[in-house]
Structure 1
Amino acid sequence: MKKIFSYILLGCLSLHFSACKDFLDLEPISTATDQNFWKNEAEANSGTAAMYALLRKAFNAGENGTMFFDYGDFPSDEFNTARMFGDSREIALMNWSLPIQASNTWRSMMVARRYDNFYRVIDQANRCIKWVPTVPLDKFTSSNAERARNSYLGEAYFMRAFTYFYMARVWGDVPVVLKSADNIADAEDLPRSPQTEVLAQALKDVDLAIANMQYTNPNAADAGVRANKSAAFALKAHIYAWMGDYAKCVPAADSVIERGGLALADRSNVPAMFAKHSTEGIFEIAMSDESEGTVQGISFYTLRTPYMRTILGNPSFGIDTVRLHRLFADTTDLRLRSGFAFYNSTEEAFCIKYSNVVYMLPNNTGAVSRNNLVVFRLSDIILLRAEALAATNQYGKARTDLDLIRSRAGIGASAATDGQLFEEIMEERARELYLEGHRFFDIIRLLRKTGTNKISWKLTETEFAQGKYYWPLDPVLINLSARLTQTAYWSTKF
């Protein structure tokens, strides 16, 4: 029998045991096994850290190292697709059934249609859930051993919840795997579970994460890059927003905003929020050291000199400047002034959020991008709460949240009517969270709630109703398992 997870688990078994010199800097230990690992707190910590490393690999995958943006930004209204090329352009145009040879496993379109990397995260989370509770408390060096062990367990539940939520937004229905396979031969051949079941499991896991986690000091050394209770509540708020259950989204967001100890960062220095963990970072993927940074990724396609000294012409992937001018009609906006270069000049404007670049070799060569991937931050959750409040007709409270973000950006209160408020909040999210992996998913929620379509030229009303915004599975996956079916819209497109 074909085993859909056999090739996935093969990679996991070679990766999941690791020692971390720096956080997320993995060093596989080939002789380790589950039975002789998991003996003390250092190993529990190392096993837990491996989940984040695997998630970073998933988000940095593809030939351009931009998978996080391939899913969350490229198909949105942020980019000028005429200025893109290769698979990235086809991804942006939502031509997701582009034929790819099975051997071209490096192609971005191939990688985007496969969920291998995400199941590696889940497999590691399943191992942590199974083995962390077996580590004896007397082998912990933390002052509160039980709390430390619970926190590692909470991180595992969080990562499993987050990964299933992320996959549910990308593919809709996906197989649900809740235990690791001790032997590859025993790996189950599973069908796709309905998205409702996937999200229900994510909510169950996130509640277990919350029960085991603590709110932690936002200024701690590993703040933001290790999940805590704030990250779990942020995830819960996002799950409910995606489900359209806005009444439950509000209290989850409240828990982050009111108890997380976070503070809005300086809008006059937007790139600083991505250089390292900021005062408002909730959950982010660490890439701010040389050992974590990348020699490819979003910086190399959206920047040019003087922000990327090795690129003299315009950025490889140009943003939609017409859309940008409409979005930032108020040019006093601090997010525009410090987050974009060459706006309203004779040169092409581009986003400089990811301009934290260092050069490891002489003559400005050997560029390494050291920008954290910020998944959740305080502004996101404040505006998500505003969205939920507007959706539940609590317009006054929604305006308070919306205008707080606008005030921090140096612009006045919104003049939108109650009937316009939901869409105006989504436009504010577009301003605040530009090129941060949110916009495409925000567009889908806006379409669901109001019918307003910001990308009608590539996602018609009929295509939306048919579920085109959910990715297909690559035919390679379908061929591996007789129990897998193609995403409904794409079933006749290959």
Structure 2
Amino acid sequence: MRTLKSIVLSTSLLTASLLTVTACKNSEFLEVKPRSQGDSQIALTTPEGIDAAVNGIYDRLQSVVLYGRDMLAVSEALGDNAQFTNKSGRLANENRNIQNNTFGTATSGGATWQTAYFAINQANLVLDNIGSVTFADTNQRNRLQGQAYFLRALLYHDLSRIYAYDPGVAVASQDRGGVPLLLVGVADQSKITLPARPAVADVYKQIYADLQNAIAAFNRSNPGAPAYGNRQAAQALFSRVALYNKDYATAVKYATDAIGGAIKLSPNASYVGGWRAPQNPESLFEVQFAVASENIGVNTSLQTTYTTLVRLGDRNATGGFGDLVPTTVGSTSFIADLEAEKSAAGAVLDIRRQLYELGTAGRGTAFIECTKFLGKNGTINLDNVPAIRVSELYLNRAEANFNLGNTADALTDLNVIRQRCGLPASTLTDAPLLAEIYRQERLEFGFEGHRWFDLKRTGQNVVKATAQGGGLAYTDNRILAPIPVNELSTNKSIKQNFGY
């Protein structure tokens, strides 16, 4: 279905290039010849054109600088879960937290910012035009409208957590605001605006509104889940956003709503196997890579980034580079954390340890590697990418309930995750309980791109070994990515982040 995108993207691609995010004339995004404005307008007046435009947003999410790699791998490199191997040189500077090496900024002129705003513009065009299109099937109209709201919310939240401080933990003297809110589609040059950075609270207010609209639009049956935005995924994203916003009652509400949906937590017996299936059974939303033409390839896919293995247990065949592997030494060793709880006989209890195994020596020293992404679609370097999973809901709710003083409820949800992973029920209280919730968030979402953002939203320092640069104090300016130079040179209303 996504192949229809070409009838609508050409003009929106051109006009989006006129936005503040695309001053670079050599950008790959300008290599497509624009068609006339009329092509876009015709496409956006039919159900097929609206459908194509929505599918084009999903295609944007596949980009290396979004969910194809960076939203996961760069986050892991910046945090304390991973260490670089230098087998290709990729992600070494990110892992050392070198200035200007964050989310595509140094290497591609702000490609993460640029690509996200391209996708947002496509969502805006859909939302601007869908109300005037006649649909034979009202459910189709509602579903597409819900997806546009859901995807815009996801993208604005990702931009905010990369480029702005999270609510409640801003360094006041360094805070330059949130990310620009563009809410009207740019279909010609007359629609271009150059907005300043609003307050972070205003960005969250808009994300809340988009998610409320998405939930209202979606059918309760979640058609297309997890390949497409759906009601349960929107509720889950709302719980995440509210947790970042320190709006704990709202986080509990939407986590509870989503837990009541059709997609459930995988049991202990099938959890590891779920990572070997093309589609993870507890995914609420996945960015899907379904055909060979979507293969990111041996240089920058998640598979090659995380492992040298081609097949589980086969150390004789080398595929990728294994650029980023779990930390194994120091006080924040990821593997030591996974192996911390053992049986009386010394066996590791946590079944998640099975998702990490020794790679090959085909590209140099063998390391323990993450195997969550291993060509699950039957083709090397072609993996669907879980963006929201059910287990997040229990940990979101546990953390939110703890902060509300509902420690018994927090402990109950924590133990759902612990026992699913083969660990005994906990009886912790007070600060150790919160620390264990944070620990389970780390272990459950290892190499899925949560850790850096979890440290950032809770105002924690990043502690690393000396070889990885030693980490960052939370007050360091590198906690935020720099606003791209192209944006600053075009939009004089916007302020650069502190220290750049």
What TM-score do the two structures reach when normalised by structure 1?
Answer: 0.80
The amino acid across from 2:484 in the alignment is D
SS in 2 for 1:259: coil
Q: Aligned equivalents of 2:113 and 2:321: distance in 1?
A: 33
Q: 1:181 to 1:112 in 2, by over 3 A?
A: closer
Q: 1:312-360: CA deviations, max 9, x gaps?
A: 79733332123133211131211112x11139xx96311111112678x
Partner of residue 288, structure 2: 286
Partner of residue 411, structure 2: 399
Q: Aligned equivalents of 2:65 and 2:221: distance in 1?
A: 25
SS in 2 for 1:374: strand
Residue 169 of structure 2 is aligned to residue 165 of structure 1 = no
The amino acid across from 2:478 in the alignment is K
Partner of residue 472, structure 1: 482
Q: 1:14 to 1:250 in 2, by over 3 A?
A: farther
Q: Aligned equivalents of 1:158 and 1:198: distance in 2?
A: 15
Q: Aligned equivalents of 2:111 and 2:30: distance in 1?
A: 23
Q: Aligned equivalents of 1:297 and 1:108: distance in 2?
A: 19
Partner of residue 116, structure 1: 114
Structure 1 segment 179-194 matched on structure 2, within 5 A? 179-184=184-189, 186-194=191-199
Further displaced range: 276-285 or 181-190: 181-190
Q: Aligned equivalents of 1:261 and 1:428: distance in 2?
A: 21
Q: 1:23-78: CA deviations, max 9, x gaps?
A: xxxxx9889623211344333322211111112226458xxx63122442111111
The amino acid across from 2:382 in the alignment is R
Q: 1:79-107: CA deviations, max 9, x gaps?
A: 124657646121122223369xxxxx988
1:125 alignment partner, one of 123, 126, 133? 123
Q: 1:397 Cα deviation (Å)?
A: 0.9
Could you tell me whether the CA contact under 8 Å between 1:270 and 1:353 is conserved in 2? Answer: no
Could you tell me whether the CA contact under 8 Å between 2:105 and 2:112 is conserved in 1? Answer: no
Q: 1:432 to 1:424 in 2, by over 3 A?
A: same
Q: 1:96-126: CA deviations, max 9, x gaps?
A: 3369xxxxx9886435575110001100000
Q: 1:159-182: CA deviations, max 9, x gaps?
A: 111111110000012111011122
Q: Aligned equivalents of 1:185 and 1:392: distance in 2?
A: 48
Partner of residue 333, structure 1: 350
Q: 1:201 Cα deviation (Å)?
A: 0.8
SS in 2 for 1:369: coil
The amino acid across from 1:340 in the alignment is Y
The amino acid across from 2:335 in the alignment is H
Q: Aligned equivalents of 1:298 and 1:111: distance in 2?
A: 22
SS in 2 for 1:80: strand
Residue 380 of structure 2 is aligned to residue 374 of structure 1 = no
Partner of residue 236, structure 2: 234
Q: Aligned equivalents of 2:389 and 2:109: distance in 1?
A: 27
Structure 1 segment 11-410 matched on structure 2, within 5 A? 33-57=39-63, 59-60=65-66, 66-81=69-84, 83=86, 86=89, 88-97=91-100, 109-110=107-108, 115-137=113-135, 140=136, 145-172=137-164, 173-184=178-189, 186-217=191-222, 222-264=224-266, 270=272, 272-273=274-275, 275-295=277-297, 296-307=300-311, 311=318, 315-322=322-329, 323-328=333-338, 329-330=340-341, 331-337=348-354, 339-342=355-358, 348-356=367-375, 368-410=380-422
Q: Aligned equivalents of 2:161 and 2:288: distance in 1?
A: 23
Could you tell me whether the CA contact under 8 Å between 2:65 and 2:104 is conserved in 1? Answer: no
Further displaced range: 257-266 or 386-395: 257-266
The amino acid across from 1:421 in the alignment is L
What TM-score do the two structures reach when normalised by structure 2?
Answer: 0.80
Partner of residue 364, structure 1: none
Q: Aligned equivalents of 1:441 and 1:194: distance in 2?
A: 19
Q: 1:403 Cα deviation (Å)?
A: 0.8
Q: 1:66 to 1:398 in 2, by over 3 A?
A: same
Q: Aligned equivalents of 1:256 and 1:201: distance in 2?
A: 21
Partner of residue 455, structure 2: 443
Q: Aligned equivalents of 1:131 and 1:11: distance in 2?
A: 27
Q: Percent identity?
A: 22
Q: Aligned equivalents of 1:233 and 1:176: distance in 2?
A: 22
Q: Aligned equivalents of 2:320 and 2:286: distance in 1?
A: 31
The amino acid across from 1:396 in the alignment is A
Q: Aligned equivalents of 1:306 and 1:153: distance in 2?
A: 40
RMSD over aligned Cα atoms: 3.4
The amino acid across from 1:333 in the alignment is D
Q: Aligned equivalents of 1:37 and 1:412: distance in 2?
A: 56
Q: 1:319 to 1:200 in 2, by over 3 A?
A: same
Q: 1:367-420: CA deviations, max 9, x gaps?
A: 632221111110011111111111222111111111111111112112433221
The amino acid across from 1:57 in the alignment is S
Q: 1:106 to 1:241 in 2, by over 3 A?
A: closer
Could you tell me whether the CA contact under 8 Å between 1:76 and 1:92 is conserved in 2? Answer: yes
Q: Aligned equivalents of 1:57 and 1:312: distance in 2?
A: 21
The amino acid across from 2:488 in the alignment is I
Q: 1:475 to 1:12 in 2, by over 3 A?
A: closer
Q: Structure 2 unaligned segments of length 5 or more: list them.
A: 1-17, 165-177, 342-347, 360-364
Partner of residue 363, structure 1: none
Could you tell me whether the CA contact under 8 Å between 1:271 and 1:355 is conserved in 2? Answer: no
Could you tell me whether the CA contact under 8 Å between 1:58 and 1:118 is conserved in 2? Answer: no
Q: Structure 1 unaligned segments of length 5 or more: list them.
A: 17-27, 100-104, 360-366
Could you tell me whether the CA contact under 8 Å between 1:274 and 1:373 is conserved in 2? Answer: no
Q: Aligned equivalents of 1:351 and 1:133: distance in 2?
A: 45
2:445 alignment partner, one of 422, 427, 433? 433
Q: 1:278-331: CA deviations, max 9, x gaps?
A: 331111100244343321312112212353876379733332123133211131
Q: 1:149 to 1:92 in 2, by over 3 A?
A: same
Q: 1:247-288: CA deviations, max 9, x gaps?
A: 221001111002344342556553633643333111110024
Partner of residue 22, structure 1: none
The amino acid across from 2:410 in the alignment is A
Could you tell me whether the CA contact under 8 Å between 1:11 and 1:120 is conserved in 2? Answer: no
Q: 1:58 to 1:160 in 2, by over 3 A?
A: farther
